[in-house]
Amino acid sequence: MPVPNDLGALAALLSGAGFIAASEEAHELLARAAGDVELLDSLVARRLTGEPLAWITGSVVFCGLEIRVDPGVYVPRWQSEPLARRAVARLPTNGVAIDLCTGAGAIAKTLITNHPSARVVASDVDERAVACATANGVEVYCGDLFAPLPRTLEGRVDVVVGVVPYVPATALPLLQRDTFAFESPLSYDGGGDGTDILRRVLTDSPRFLRRGGALLLELGGEQAEALGDDLGRLGYLDVAVLADDDGDVRGIEATLGADQPCSSARGD
Ligand SMILES: C[S@@+](CC[C@H](N)C(=O)[O-])C[C@H]1O[C@@H](n2cnc3c(N)ncnc32)[C@H](O)[C@@H]1O
């Protein structure tokens, strides 16, 4: 039976299949199909398998910007928008920012759009993400965290921001059923208690940040507390825990102090 091509009926079909934002999704799918009923059939069939909507429509809105999202690339979440806005607030007009684990490049693009004179660079270990972020106009390098970034930026960076993988290994099986049917554990897996990559970022950031520069990381649960000792030892000051409207911990914001107790990851 063909998929209904009016908003109400398609929304009802999606709602019946368990999609919470059925009306919005129906609207996006109809817009993407643009009256092509065969295309609409195939788009809806894909959605009913649980494939992320953004992979089907090809984009998502993040901080008011349309971000291209290619199949296989992590879909930027609205929950990360406040962190991106804090990064915008901490970046001077002509400053320098690094977006680690950029995925589709949503945070980097938000920074570039709000600070067109700033230098914004990004990295991701997944080549599909690198291609997607490049298509979104981001200067992105393929590789592990800071490793592929230009060394000329060392000590000059105003903001390091990242939505890095931070889900504890034990919590991976609790993620939504469809998550790993489509998305890669590489986007989520933060090791034992989820802080493996977060700790590496804390350790390596002082090499790139200028004194007074900001580190902004998404995290959750007890992770801010777990990282407290590392933050102090590595010379970060003014550590603020960022929470959402429900009071749930969503990230940390810290400033690199003037005096560096450790040379961190410089390796010398
Ligand atoms: C949770 S997603 C976040 C993507 C993006 N920051 C966003 O909010 O839309 C994490 C991303 O980190 C990348 N990644 C995982 N481990 C990495 C590493 N060691 N170095 C660089 N990127 C990594 C994954 O490929 C994925 O794109």
SS3 per-residue string spanning 36-95: CHHHHHHHHHHHHCCCCHHHHHCEEEECCEEEECCCCCCCCCHHHHHHHHHHHHHCCCCC
Ligand 1: residues with CB < 6 A are 74, 76, 80, 101-104, 106-107, 123-126, 129, 144-145, 163-165, 186-187, 197
Mean of pLDDT values over 210-218? 98
* Distance between Cα 143 and ligand 1 center (Å): 10
Q: What angle do CA 31, 71, 43 make, to 5 degrees?
A: 35
Residue 238, classed as helix, strand or coil, is strand
Q: Which of 110, 127, 164, 184 to mutate to test the pocket of ligand 1 (most atoms within 8 A of CB)?
A: 164
* Distance between Cα 185 and ligand 1 center (Å): 10
pTM tops 0.85, yes or no: yes
Q: Beta 96-100 vs 157-162: how paired, if at all?
A: parallel
> For position 4, what pLDDT does the model report?
81
pLDDT confidence of 263, banded at 50, 70, 90?
A: very low
> For position 264, what pLDDT does the model report?
46
The closest alpha carbon to 100, from 134, 46, 54, 149, belongs to 149
Neighbours of 121 (CB within 10 A): 21
**Residues 123-150 pLDDT 10s:** 999 999 999 999 999 999 999 999 999 9
User: What distance in Å separates the CA atoms of residue 22 and residue 28, rounded to the nearest whole number?
Assistant: 10
> For position 258, what pLDDT does the model report?
81
**What share of residues in the chain are helix, strand, coil (percent, to 5)?**
40, 20, 35
The closest alpha carbon to 205, from 86, 96, 77, 100, belongs to 100
CB 121 within 8 A of CB 148: no
Query: What letters, b where the CB count within 10 A reaches 16 and e where it falls short, cover 11-37?
Result: bebbeeeebeebbebbebbbebbeeee
Cα first-last separation, the chain: 67
> For position 175, what pLDDT does the model report?
83
When the pLDDT of each residue in the chain is averaged and rounded to a whole number, the result is: 93
Mean of pLDDT values over 94-111? 98
> For position 180, what pLDDT does the model report?
77
> For position 261, what pLDDT does the model report?
54
What are the structural domain ranges in the chain?
A: 7-68, 78-266
**Which amino acid, residue 97?**
A
> For position 83, what pLDDT does the model report?
98
**Which amino acid, residue 30?**
L
Give the domain 78-266 fold: Rossmann fold (3.40.50)
Mean of pLDDT values over 218-229? 95
Mean of pLDDT values over 159-187? 89
User: What distance in Å separates the CA atoms of residue 137 and residue 59, rounded to the nearest whole number?
Assistant: 14
> For position 259, what pLDDT does the model report?
65
pLDDT at 3 over 50: yes
Determine which residue's CA is closest to atom 1 belonging to ligand 1: 187
Q: Beta 119-124 vs 96-100: how paired, if at all?
A: parallel
User: What distance in Å separates the CA atoms of residue 108 and residue 97, rounded to the nearest whole number?
Assistant: 8
**Residues 65-90 pLDDT 10s:** 999 999 999 999 999 999 999 999 99
**Residues 18-51 pLDDT 10s:** 999 999 999 999 999 999 999 999 999 999 999 9
* Distance between Cα 205 and ligand 1 center (Å): 16
149: which residues sit within 8 A by CB, 6+ positions away? 98, 121, 123, 141, 208
